[in-house]
Structure 1
Protein backbone atom coordinates (compact mmCIF):
# COMPACT_ATOMS: atom_id res chain seq x y z
CA UNK A 1 0.00 0.00 0.00
CA UNK A 2 1.47 3.33 -1.02
CA UNK A 3 1.27 6.41 1.14
CA UNK A 4 -0.38 8.71 -1.41
CA UNK A 5 -2.61 10.72 0.93
CA UNK A 6 -4.41 12.09 -2.08
CA UNK A 7 -7.48 14.18 -1.63
CA UNK A 8 -10.60 12.14 -1.97
CA UNK A 9 -12.89 13.07 -4.81
CA UNK A 10 -15.86 15.21 -3.70
CA UNK A 11 -18.28 12.30 -4.14
CA UNK A 12 -15.97 10.01 -2.11
CA UNK A 13 -15.81 12.57 0.72
CA UNK A 14 -19.58 12.95 0.69
CA UNK A 15 -20.15 9.18 0.75
CA UNK A 16 -17.59 8.63 3.53
CA UNK A 17 -19.07 11.38 5.71
CA UNK A 18 -22.54 9.94 5.12
CA UNK A 19 -21.31 6.48 6.19
CA UNK A 20 -19.53 7.86 9.29
CA UNK A 21 -22.60 9.88 10.29
CA UNK A 22 -24.88 6.86 9.94
CA UNK A 23 -22.53 4.70 12.05
CA UNK A 24 -22.23 7.52 14.62
CA UNK A 25 -26.02 7.77 14.95
CA UNK A 26 -26.50 3.98 15.23
CA UNK A 27 -23.91 3.65 18.02
CA UNK A 28 -24.51 6.57 20.38
CA UNK A 29 -23.26 4.51 23.33
CA UNK A 30 -19.71 4.84 21.94
CA UNK A 31 -19.63 8.64 22.15
CA UNK A 32 -22.04 10.03 24.71
CA UNK A 33 -22.19 13.81 24.73
CA UNK A 34 -20.46 14.21 21.33
CA UNK A 35 -22.31 16.18 18.66
CA UNK A 36 -21.99 14.96 15.06
CA UNK A 37 -22.02 18.51 13.63
CA UNK A 38 -18.77 19.30 15.48
CA UNK A 39 -17.15 16.06 14.33
CA UNK A 40 -18.17 16.75 10.74
CA UNK A 41 -16.75 20.28 10.96
CA UNK A 42 -13.37 18.83 12.02
CA UNK A 43 -13.47 16.25 9.24
CA UNK A 44 -14.26 18.83 6.57
CA UNK A 45 -11.32 20.94 7.75
CA UNK A 46 -8.80 18.09 7.62
CA UNK A 47 -8.64 16.26 4.30
CA UNK A 48 -5.56 14.22 5.23
CA UNK A 49 -7.36 12.75 8.26
CA UNK A 50 -10.44 12.13 6.14
CA UNK A 51 -8.20 10.23 3.71
CA UNK A 52 -6.93 8.09 6.62
CA UNK A 53 -10.50 7.41 7.78
CA UNK A 54 -11.31 6.32 4.23
CA UNK A 55 -8.39 3.90 4.34
CA UNK A 56 -9.75 2.54 7.63
CA UNK A 57 -13.18 2.16 6.02
CA UNK A 58 -12.07 0.48 2.77
CA UNK A 59 -9.98 -2.08 4.69
CA UNK A 60 -13.05 -3.07 6.74
CA UNK A 61 -12.39 -1.21 9.99
CA UNK A 62 -15.74 0.57 10.30
CA UNK A 63 -14.21 3.57 12.12
CA UNK A 64 -16.35 5.39 14.67
CA UNK A 65 -15.89 8.17 17.21
CA UNK A 66 -15.15 6.70 20.64
CA UNK A 67 -14.22 9.89 22.47
CA UNK A 68 -13.29 13.54 22.55
CA UNK A 69 -10.03 14.87 23.99
CA UNK A 70 -11.03 18.02 25.88
CA UNK A 71 -7.42 19.26 26.07
CA UNK A 72 -6.65 19.09 22.35
CA UNK A 73 -10.19 19.32 20.99
CA UNK A 74 -9.57 16.20 18.90
CA UNK A 75 -12.14 13.50 18.23
CA UNK A 76 -10.83 9.96 18.63
CA UNK A 77 -11.77 7.28 16.12
CA UNK A 78 -11.17 3.53 16.57
CA UNK A 79 -11.88 0.67 14.21
CA UNK A 80 -15.21 -0.70 15.47
CA UNK A 81 -15.82 -3.63 13.11
CA UNK A 82 -17.15 -6.71 14.90
CA UNK A 83 -14.03 -8.69 13.97
CA UNK A 84 -10.51 -7.70 13.00
CA UNK A 85 -10.69 -5.61 9.79
CA UNK A 86 -10.74 -8.04 6.85
CA UNK A 87 -8.39 -5.98 4.69
CA UNK A 88 -5.75 -5.95 7.42
CA UNK A 89 -5.36 -9.61 8.33
CA UNK A 90 -2.54 -12.06 7.60
CA UNK A 91 0.14 -9.50 8.48
CA UNK A 92 3.17 -9.86 10.70
CA UNK A 93 3.90 -7.24 13.36
CA UNK A 94 6.33 -4.71 11.81
CA UNK A 95 8.62 -4.08 8.81
CA UNK A 96 11.61 -5.65 10.62
CA UNK A 97 9.64 -8.85 11.17
CA UNK A 98 8.54 -8.81 7.53
CA UNK A 99 12.13 -8.41 6.38
CA UNK A 100 13.31 -11.26 8.63
CA UNK A 101 11.04 -13.82 6.96
CA UNK A 102 12.99 -15.75 4.37
CA UNK A 103 9.99 -17.49 2.78
CA UNK A 104 6.19 -17.35 2.82
CA UNK A 105 6.24 -13.64 3.55
CA UNK A 106 2.94 -11.87 4.19
CA UNK A 107 2.18 -8.90 1.94
CA UNK A 108 2.64 -6.36 4.73
CA UNK A 109 3.01 -5.76 8.45
CA UNK A 110 0.62 -4.18 10.95
CA UNK A 111 2.96 -1.28 11.74
CA UNK A 112 3.80 -0.80 8.06
CA UNK A 113 0.15 -0.70 6.99
CA UNK A 114 -0.82 1.62 9.85
CA UNK A 115 1.97 4.01 8.90
CA UNK A 116 0.89 3.95 5.26
CA UNK A 117 -2.69 4.67 6.33
CA UNK A 118 -1.70 7.52 8.65
CA UNK A 119 -3.09 5.79 11.76
CA UNK A 120 -1.72 4.18 14.93
CA UNK A 121 -2.34 0.59 15.98
CA UNK A 122 -4.19 0.28 19.26
CA UNK A 123 -2.31 -0.18 22.51
CA UNK A 124 -3.38 -2.86 24.98
CA UNK A 125 -5.04 -0.15 27.09
CA UNK A 126 -6.95 1.22 24.08
CA UNK A 127 -8.03 -2.30 23.15
CA UNK A 128 -9.45 -2.77 26.65
CA UNK A 129 -11.28 0.58 26.32
CA UNK A 130 -12.78 -0.59 23.02
CA UNK A 131 -14.12 -3.76 24.64
CA UNK A 132 -16.11 -1.63 27.09
CA UNK A 133 -18.10 -0.37 24.08
CA UNK A 134 -19.16 -3.81 22.83
CA UNK A 135 -17.89 -7.32 22.23
CA UNK A 136 -15.28 -7.24 19.48
CA UNK A 137 -13.03 -10.00 18.14
CA UNK A 138 -14.94 -13.07 19.27
CA UNK A 139 -13.34 -15.03 16.40
CA UNK A 140 -10.27 -12.97 15.45
CA UNK A 141 -7.25 -11.41 17.15
CA UNK A 142 -5.23 -8.23 16.73
CA UNK A 143 -1.65 -7.13 17.06
CA UNK A 144 -1.32 -4.27 19.56
CA UNK A 145 1.52 -1.84 20.17
CA UNK A 146 4.29 -3.91 21.71
CA UNK A 147 6.66 -2.60 24.38
CA UNK A 148 10.18 -2.16 22.99
CA UNK A 149 11.71 -4.58 25.52
CA UNK A 150 9.50 -7.38 24.17
CA UNK A 151 10.07 -6.40 20.55
CA UNK A 152 13.87 -6.32 21.03
CA UNK A 153 13.69 -10.01 21.93
CA UNK A 154 11.79 -10.86 18.74
CA UNK A 155 8.30 -10.96 20.20
CA UNK A 156 5.10 -9.00 19.80
CA UNK A 157 1.78 -9.04 21.63
CA UNK A 158 -1.76 -9.54 20.40
CA UNK A 159 -5.20 -9.54 21.95
CA UNK A 160 -8.64 -11.02 21.54
CA UNK A 161 -11.90 -11.27 23.48
CA UNK A 162 -13.06 -14.67 24.70
CA UNK A 163 -15.16 -15.84 27.64
CA UNK A 164 -16.15 -12.23 28.41
CA UNK A 165 -12.50 -11.27 28.94
CA UNK A 166 -9.67 -9.58 27.07
CA UNK A 167 -6.73 -11.93 26.65
CA UNK A 168 -3.21 -10.74 25.86
CA UNK A 169 -0.78 -13.19 24.27
CA UNK A 170 2.68 -13.20 22.74
CA UNK A 171 4.03 -14.54 19.50
CA UNK A 172 7.07 -14.13 17.31
CA UNK A 173 6.73 -10.78 15.53
CA UNK A 174 7.27 -12.46 12.15
CA UNK A 175 4.26 -14.77 12.56
CA UNK A 176 0.99 -14.14 10.77
CA UNK A 177 -2.39 -15.82 10.65
CA UNK A 178 -5.54 -15.44 8.57
CA UNK A 179 -7.54 -14.49 11.64
CA UNK A 180 -5.06 -11.95 13.05
CA UNK A 181 -4.94 -8.35 11.96
CA UNK A 182 -4.85 -5.01 13.71
CA UNK A 183 -7.16 -2.23 14.78
CA UNK A 184 -6.26 1.40 14.41
CA UNK A 185 -6.91 4.74 16.01
CA UNK A 186 -6.95 8.23 14.57
CA UNK A 187 -7.26 11.65 16.18
CA UNK A 188 -9.01 14.36 14.17
Structure 2
Protein backbone atom coordinates (compact mmCIF):
# COMPACT_ATOMS: atom_id res chain seq x y z
CA UNK A 1 0.00 0.00 0.00
CA UNK A 2 2.98 2.29 0.54
CA UNK A 3 3.57 2.70 -3.21
CA UNK A 4 -0.12 3.48 -3.64
CA UNK A 5 -0.21 6.06 -0.86
CA UNK A 6 3.20 7.73 -1.03
CA UNK A 7 4.06 10.07 -3.93
CA UNK A 8 4.17 9.47 -6.84
CA UNK A 9 1.28 7.07 -6.05
CA UNK A 10 -2.35 8.13 -6.48
CA UNK A 11 -2.73 9.48 -2.93
CA UNK A 12 0.50 11.49 -3.27
CA UNK A 13 1.42 11.45 0.43
CA UNK A 14 4.80 12.20 1.90
CA UNK A 15 6.39 9.32 3.82
CA UNK A 16 5.79 11.03 7.21
CA UNK A 17 2.13 11.69 6.35
CA UNK A 18 1.70 8.03 5.41
CA UNK A 19 3.22 7.09 8.76
CA UNK A 20 0.75 9.32 10.60
CA UNK A 21 -2.10 7.79 8.62
CA UNK A 22 -0.99 4.28 9.63
CA UNK A 23 -0.58 5.45 13.22
CA UNK A 24 -4.33 6.12 13.28
CA UNK A 25 -4.90 2.36 13.14
CA UNK A 26 -2.87 1.96 16.36
CA UNK A 27 -4.67 4.85 18.03
CA UNK A 28 -7.95 3.24 17.00
CA UNK A 29 -6.84 -0.04 18.56
CA UNK A 30 -6.10 1.63 21.87
CA UNK A 31 -9.47 3.41 21.78
CA UNK A 32 -11.19 0.17 20.82
CA UNK A 33 -9.75 -1.63 23.82
CA UNK A 34 -11.11 1.07 26.14
CA UNK A 35 -14.47 1.27 24.37
CA UNK A 36 -15.21 -2.47 24.21
CA UNK A 37 -17.13 -2.61 27.50
CA UNK A 38 -19.25 0.49 26.77
CA UNK A 39 -19.99 -0.76 23.22
CA UNK A 40 -21.06 -4.13 24.60
CA UNK A 41 -23.35 -2.41 27.12
CA UNK A 42 -24.86 -0.01 24.55
CA UNK A 43 -25.12 -2.24 21.48
CA UNK A 44 -24.75 -5.77 22.84
CA UNK A 45 -21.84 -8.18 22.86
CA UNK A 46 -22.31 -9.28 19.28
CA UNK A 47 -21.65 -5.78 17.94
CA UNK A 48 -18.12 -5.85 19.30
CA UNK A 49 -17.63 -8.35 16.45
CA UNK A 50 -19.93 -6.61 13.97
CA UNK A 51 -18.16 -3.26 14.29
CA UNK A 52 -14.87 -4.95 13.44
CA UNK A 53 -16.34 -6.35 10.22
CA UNK A 54 -17.65 -2.90 9.30
CA UNK A 55 -14.39 -1.15 10.18
CA UNK A 56 -12.12 -3.60 8.38
CA UNK A 57 -14.17 -3.24 5.22
CA UNK A 58 -13.91 0.54 5.52
CA UNK A 59 -10.12 0.31 5.86
CA UNK A 60 -9.94 -1.54 2.55
CA UNK A 61 -12.45 0.49 0.58
CA UNK A 62 -11.77 4.06 1.72
CA UNK A 63 -8.31 4.51 0.17
CA UNK A 64 -9.48 2.80 -3.02
CA UNK A 65 -12.49 5.06 -3.54
CA UNK A 66 -11.41 8.47 -2.26
CA UNK A 67 -8.45 10.77 -1.91
CA UNK A 68 -9.75 12.78 1.05
CA UNK A 69 -7.16 12.13 3.78
CA UNK A 70 -9.58 13.07 6.54
CA UNK A 71 -12.09 10.44 5.45
CA UNK A 72 -9.39 7.84 4.92
CA UNK A 73 -8.01 8.69 8.37
CA UNK A 74 -11.44 8.25 9.96
CA UNK A 75 -11.82 4.89 8.18
CA UNK A 76 -8.41 3.74 9.47
CA UNK A 77 -9.19 4.94 13.00
CA UNK A 78 -12.57 3.16 13.02
CA UNK A 79 -11.06 0.05 11.47
CA UNK A 80 -8.38 -0.03 14.13
CA UNK A 81 -11.00 0.22 16.88
CA UNK A 82 -12.70 -2.98 15.81
CA UNK A 83 -9.74 -5.35 16.23
CA UNK A 84 -9.59 -5.30 20.04
CA UNK A 85 -13.39 -5.39 20.23
CA UNK A 86 -13.48 -8.60 18.16
CA UNK A 87 -10.58 -10.11 20.14
CA UNK A 88 -12.12 -9.37 23.53
CA UNK A 89 -15.59 -10.59 22.50
CA UNK A 90 -14.21 -13.78 20.91
CA UNK A 91 -11.97 -14.57 23.89
CA UNK A 92 -14.86 -14.05 26.32
CA UNK A 93 -17.12 -16.26 24.20
CA UNK A 94 -14.48 -19.00 24.08
CA UNK A 95 -14.10 -18.75 27.84
CA UNK A 96 -17.85 -19.26 28.30
CA UNK A 97 -18.38 -22.02 25.72
CA UNK A 98 -15.22 -24.14 25.72
CA UNK A 99 -14.63 -26.62 28.56
CA UNK A 100 -11.66 -25.62 30.70
CA UNK A 101 -9.57 -28.63 29.73
CA UNK A 102 -9.87 -27.74 26.01
CA UNK A 103 -9.40 -23.96 26.20
CA UNK A 104 -5.64 -24.03 25.56
CA UNK A 105 -5.98 -26.20 22.45
CA UNK A 106 -8.95 -24.25 21.09
CA UNK A 107 -7.19 -20.92 21.65
CA UNK A 108 -4.01 -22.20 20.01
CA UNK A 109 -5.99 -23.43 16.99
CA UNK A 110 -7.90 -20.14 16.80
CA UNK A 111 -4.65 -18.16 16.87
CA UNK A 112 -2.96 -20.44 14.32
CA UNK A 113 -5.86 -20.02 11.90
CA UNK A 114 -6.26 -16.27 12.42
CA UNK A 115 -2.55 -15.48 12.11
CA UNK A 116 -2.15 -17.95 9.24
CA UNK A 117 -5.10 -16.47 7.35
CA UNK A 118 -3.68 -12.97 7.85
CA UNK A 119 -0.45 -14.11 6.20
CA UNK A 120 -2.29 -15.96 3.42
CA UNK A 121 -4.53 -12.91 2.83
CA UNK A 122 -1.50 -10.64 2.49
CA UNK A 123 0.09 -13.03 0.02
CA UNK A 124 -3.14 -13.41 -1.98
CA UNK A 125 -3.71 -9.65 -1.93
CA UNK A 126 -0.21 -8.95 -3.19
CA UNK A 127 -0.46 -11.50 -5.98
CA UNK A 128 -3.92 -10.31 -7.02
CA UNK A 129 -2.78 -6.68 -6.95
CA UNK A 130 -0.07 -7.54 -9.47
CA UNK A 131 -2.74 -8.84 -11.83
CA UNK A 132 -5.82 -6.71 -11.08
CA UNK A 133 -4.31 -3.54 -9.61
CA UNK A 134 -4.29 -2.46 -5.99
CA UNK A 135 -7.45 -0.34 -6.16
CA UNK A 136 -9.48 -3.29 -7.49
CA UNK A 137 -8.08 -5.64 -4.86
CA UNK A 138 -8.83 -3.19 -2.03
CA UNK A 139 -12.44 -2.92 -3.19
CA UNK A 140 -12.69 -6.71 -3.63
CA UNK A 141 -11.29 -7.39 -0.16
CA UNK A 142 -13.61 -4.76 1.33
CA UNK A 143 -16.60 -6.50 -0.24
CA UNK A 144 -15.37 -9.92 0.89
CA UNK A 145 -14.93 -8.55 4.40
CA UNK A 146 -18.46 -7.15 4.42
CA UNK A 147 -19.82 -10.49 3.19
CA UNK A 148 -18.98 -11.74 6.69
CA UNK A 149 -22.16 -9.93 7.72
CA UNK A 150 -24.16 -12.79 6.16
CA UNK A 151 -23.07 -15.40 8.75
CA UNK A 152 -22.79 -12.66 11.38
CA UNK A 153 -26.48 -11.75 11.19
CA UNK A 154 -27.50 -15.39 10.98
CA UNK A 155 -25.29 -17.03 13.61
CA UNK A 156 -23.76 -14.38 15.89
CA UNK A 157 -26.79 -13.53 17.97
CA UNK A 158 -26.94 -11.95 21.38
CA UNK A 159 -28.26 -15.30 22.67
CA UNK A 160 -25.17 -17.11 21.38
CA UNK A 161 -22.90 -14.46 22.87
CA UNK A 162 -24.55 -14.91 26.30
CA UNK A 163 -24.38 -18.72 26.41
CA UNK A 164 -22.52 -20.25 29.27
CA UNK A 165 -23.45 -17.62 31.82
Identify whether the pair has TM-score above 0.5, normalized to the shorter chain: no
Bigger radius of gyration: 2
Q: Per chain length, whose mean CA-contact separation is higher, i.e. which structure has more relative contact order (CA < 8 Å, sep 6+)?
A: 2
Give me the TM-score of the superposition, normalised by structure 1. Answer: 0.27
Instruction: From the two aligned structures, give the one with the greater helix fraction.
Output: 2
Instruction: From the two aligned structures, give the one with the greater strand fraction.
Output: 1
